[in-house]
Amino acid sequence: MEMNKDLVAASTTPLVLAILAERDSYGYAIIKRVTELSRGHLQWTDGMLYPVLHRLERQGYVAAKWSASENGRRRKYYRITKEGRAQLAAHRQQWQVVNGTLRGIWMKACTA
């Protein structure tokens, strides 16, 4: 299934925040988790995640820290902040509105 580009872009921020709300993570693992959760339907261009993460970091929704990884190289780990959680909640409400609206129409279409 080919996903609409704008839809993918719009879902990036809530997805990243939601994944970080599960546990602290780093770029590569976040992308793996997205693929896993969407069963491969959401394909990001890997590099593009990093500017997004940096922007979130600047906005204060996530915090970043360099620490050692299991392979001995340094890795930049991201963690969601309190503001980030608030932002995530706001996103969630908005998506629920969209989701609920569409669901309502489609349910009617099914039953009619």
Partner 1 sequence: MAGRERYPARYLDEGVHGMTTFADRPLEEQIAHWRAYLSQRQALHGPDLEELEGHLRDQLLALTEAGLAGDEAFLVAVKRMGSLDTLSGEFARAHSERLWKQLVLGAESGDDSVTSKTRHTETWVVLSLAVSAALAIKAPALFGIQFGGDQPFYARNASLFVFPLLSVYFVWKRGSDVVSRLGLALAFAVGALFANVFPFRPGSDTEVLTALHLPIALWLAVGFAYVRSRWFADDGRRMNFVRFSGELAIYYVLIALGGGVLTAFTLMMFHSIGLNAKWLVQGWLIPCGAMGAVIIGSWLVEAKQSVIENMAPVLTRLFTPLFTILLLVFLGTMAWTGSPINVERELLIGFDLLLVLVVGLVLYAVSARDPQAPPDFFDGLQLLLVVSALAVDGAALGAIATRISEFGFSPNRVAALGENLILLVNLGWSAWLYARFLRRQGSFAILERWQVAYLPVYSAWAALVVVLFPPVFSYR
Cα torsion 100, 106, 108, 109 to 10°: value is 170
Under the binding rule (CB under 8 A), the answer on residue 28 touching partner 1 is yes
* Candidate list 50, 65, 86, 94; residue touching partner 1; CB under 8 A: 50
Q: Which is nearer to partner 1, 18 or 77 (CB)?
A: 77
Task: Please tell me whether residue 6 binds partner 1 under the rule CB under 8 A.
Answer: no
Q: Which is nearer to partner 1, 21 or 64 (CB)?
A: 64
| 46 near partner 1 (CB under 8 A) | yes
CA distances from residue 22 to 30, 44, 99 in whole angstroms, order as listed: 11, 20, 22
Instruction: Decide: 13 and 52 in contact? Cβ < 8 Å.
Output: yes
Q: Is 69 in the site for partner 1 (CB under 8 A)?
A: yes
* Minimum CB–partner distance for residue 62 and partner 1 (Å): 13
Q: What is the DSSP letter of 60?
A: T
The answer to whether the beta carbons of residues 31 and 44 sit under 8 Å apart is yes
72 binds partner 1 (CB under 8 A): no
Strand-strand pairing, 62-68 and 25-26: unpaired
Binding site for partner 1 (CB under 8 A): 26-28, 45-48, 50-52, 54-55, 58, 66, 69, 71, 73-76
